[in-house]
Structure 1
Amino acid sequence: MENELISFRSDMLKFAWLQLRDEASAEDAVQDALAAAVSGKKQFNNRAQLKTWVFAILKNKIVDVIRERARYPNAGTAIDEIPDDAYEDLFDGNGHWQDDARPTTWGNPESSYSSQQFWKIFEICLTRLPENTARVFMMREMLGFETAEICKELVMSPTNCWVVLHRARMALRLCLGDRWFNAENRDVEL
């Protein structure tokens, strides 16, 4: 079991870094998750795949780190949102897409989920988000936090949380639309 756990380490580090954006914190979370998995291996009863179980432990460790950071905020924890006017030129005065900015159809996006290349591009797009904007998005969409929990942990209003989530989704949509769903750019160096 220990050898299998070690084989997940690289993916775990990448996942933890995306959540925490700090190499030392990511390393600590992965080490804590691996140690918890080894010490709790009797509790693993094959109801899930080993990797799924270990990543669930890692998610909990990441949540612990995020909660710890929220208890002791510093100047760097303010939400560094995408600017208010970042997408202004994409829409007309009525809030409709400009003709030249309208997103292209994505066809069947579910078929992309099985592509490792898609997930690499998604990770690149996620990494390009401002750090705390990405954190709010990942807390909601990857770690399963409810909006009220995010607001409590990051000391932000629900309205601000929804604005940050909207901007994160818009940025990801534009990045994925350009780098993945637009076949002409799929092989462009990122």
Structure 2
Amino acid sequence: MDLAASELQTLRDKMLSFARLQLSDDALAEDVVQEALAGALKNADAFARAASLQTWVFAILKNKIADALRNRYRQPELESFDDECKECGSGDDQFNNKGHWQSHSSPQRWDAPERQIHDQHFWRVFDTCLEGLPAEQARVFMMREFIELSSDEICESLALSTSNLHVLLYRARLKLRQCLEGNWFNGGTSA
């Protein structure tokens, strides 16, 4: 193989572009291109000139990409539980230490006049969603949000641990949010 530096760089750039497209991973693309070029140099004597050099090198690259994809699926990246929670959001940043919405994450009121007409209907939908909660979740939610009892008062009243209370409140809020989004905020107007 007798290539000028500029031809080799052009070939490498094309290979890298192809590998990035196939792998969606810049570092892995660099690796497979390097392996393909090293393999081509190592086996230069096997190049029969039956096809163009680019075709031959790309055939090697395709095999390297296939190997990389097989390895990716055989050995999937393991995510820690913490990584999964960071992606899906734990919800801890949405509530303050009293369990009320943080100002930056509280649901925003839509001030469109046509929405205000439906306020009474919204509360009917909300009540239906609240009734759909498990009894204990609904109870602690009402004690906290409507009666505005403190965590200590609720825990003492219901003989709950603080962590259990927070789990119940978190689950209640998530279920209510899901119900309201599905039955009110996303176009639905019935529960």
TM over 0.5: no
TM category (shorter chain) comes to: 0.3 to 0.5
Structure showing greater relative contact order (alpha-carbon pairs closer than 8 Å, 6 or more residues apart):
1
Q: TM-score, normalised by structure 2?
A: 0.42
TM-score (structure 1 length as normaliser): 0.42
